[in-house]
A and B are shown apart, each in its own frame.
Chain A
Amino acid sequence: GQQLNQSPQSMFIQEGEDVSMNCTSSSIFNTWLWYKQDPGEGPVLLIALYKAGELTSNGRLTAQFGITRKDSFLNISASIPSDVGIYFCAGGNKIIFGKGTRLHILP
């Protein structure tokens, strides 16, 4: 079946730094979705990507749908404390989720 590998598993960064995380799939995807989840809450959709090569921004967030259709990345610029949380990629013909990247911001 389809599998998603999301990396890194966790990140510790200083406030103001840029962040980059990515997902790779074992097969071609036709949609990539990026979500953020805060503790005790459901995932919140950040960015949806529908075409290979598509680059989409949402404020300080930028995501790209890889040309091979087997990967996607999410960048966060100039991180702030409220960026702390778990970021999930999701996608595929029958949507599956990665295991998440946990973002920690050091004081």
Chain B
Amino acid sequence: DTGVSQNPRHKITKRGQNVTFRCDPISEHNRLYWYRQTLGQGPEFLTYFQNEAQLEKSRLLSDRFSAERPKGSFSTLEIQRTEQGDSAMYLCASSLATGGFTDTQYFGPGTRLTVL
């Protein structure tokens, strides 16, 4: 069991640049989630996939954000035209769906984004 992995672990970018993060879930898990966490707060839900289908998106996910899970395995989260307010830790989690939204989720180590 290799757990959930995320790359890169850290990303520093200039405002206006595009960034892309990758998440590799636990291999048998069919659900994949993206969260954003800012300092002093708990993780905030952004979006989730069941297999390759994106089933829900939070209102936090502006049109500059896009997520994909093309083959139902790894996922990417892209932020276009980054803003300083996008600076945060971006967390990925995966779960094995047994029914209902609150499947037990296992988190990756996160990607810390700093927008200068």
- Please say whether chains A and B are actual partners in one complex: yes
Total A residues in contact with B, Cβ cutoff 8 Å: 24
List, in ascending order, chain B residues with CB within 8 A of A99's CB: 40-42
Contacts of A100 in B (CB 8 A): 40-42
**Complex formed: what's the CA distance from A107 to B54 in Å?**
48
**With A42-B108, A43-B91, A43-B107: A30-B102 Cβ-Cβ less than 8 Å:** yes
Chain A proximity mask over B80-115: 1 for CB below 8 Å, otherwise 0: 000000000001010000001110111111101000
How many chain B residues have a CB neighbour from A under 8 Å?
A: 22
Taking a contact as CB atoms closer than 8 A, the residue among A40, A41, A48, A94 that contacts B104 in the complex is A48
Q: Report whether over half of chain A's contact residues are helix, strand or loop; otherwise say mixed.
A: loop
Other contacts beyond A43-B107, A48-B104, A95-B101: 15, CB < 8 A: A31-B102, A33-B104, A40-B109, A41-B110, A42-B109, A42-B110, A45-B106, A88-B42, A90-B42, A92-B102, A93-B102, A94-B45, A95-B102, A96-B45, A98-B42
Q: In whole angstroms, what is the CA distance A41 to B45 when docked? A: 17
> Can you list 12 A-B contacts (CB < 8 A)?
A30-B100, A31-B100, A33-B105, A43-B107, A48-B104, A88-B42, A94-B45, A95-B105, A97-B43, A97-B44, A100-B40, A100-B42
Distance of A44 from chain B, by nearest CB (Å) = 7
Contact across chains for B43 and A43 when beta carbons are under 8 A apart: yes
B residues with a Cβ closer than 8 A to A are 4, 6, 40-45, 56, 91, 93, 100-102, 104-110, 112
Question: Would you give the 0/1 interface string for A80-96, flagging 1 where the beta carbon is closer than 8 Å to chain B?
Answer: 00000000101111111
A51-68 vs B, Cβ < 8 Å mask (1 yes, 0 no): 000000000000000000
Residues on the A chain within 8 Å of B101, using CB:
93-95
B112: nearest chain-A partner, CB-CB: A40
Q: How far is the CA of A94 from the CA of B31 in the complex (A)?
A: 14
Q: Return the contact of B105 from the options A30, A41, A45, A98 (Cβ within 8 A).
A: A45
C-alpha spacing A95/B104, complex, angstroms:
10
Are B42 and A41 in touch, CB under 8 angstroms? no
A100 to B, closest residue via Cβ: B42
Taking a contact as CB atoms under 8 Å apart, the answer to whether B104 and A45 are in contact is: yes
